Amino acid sequence: LTPVDLAEVINAMLSLAGNQLRHKARVEVHLVPGLTALGTPTAVGQVVLNLLVNALQAIPDDGADHLVTIVSR
């Protein structure tokens, strides 16, 4: 396991899922610089992508203004 830059992984996964997500909600990202997680970029990316997909599936198709916020501390 190695330190993985969370900002890099989150931004990469937003590039993959962000287009679908932005059709249903606004996305705000507030990340602490230099925050890392132990793992592999692939494994951490899969976790982030799963969270984004879960958020996407939880947003109703009601035409209302929805917001997905990604925050690190």
How do residues 14-57 score in pLDDT, each as one tens digit? 998 878 888 889 999 999 999 999 999 999 999 999 999 999 99
Q: How far is CA 47 from CA 50, 58, 62, 63, in A?
A: 5, 17, 27, 28
Residue 3, pLDDT > 90, answer yes
User: Which H or E run contains 7?
Assistant: helix 6-22
Is 90 exceeded by the pLDDT of residue 7? yes
What's the pTM?
Answer: 0.86
E strand intervals along the chain: 2-5, 26-30, 36-39, 67-71
pLDDT beyond 90 at 61: no
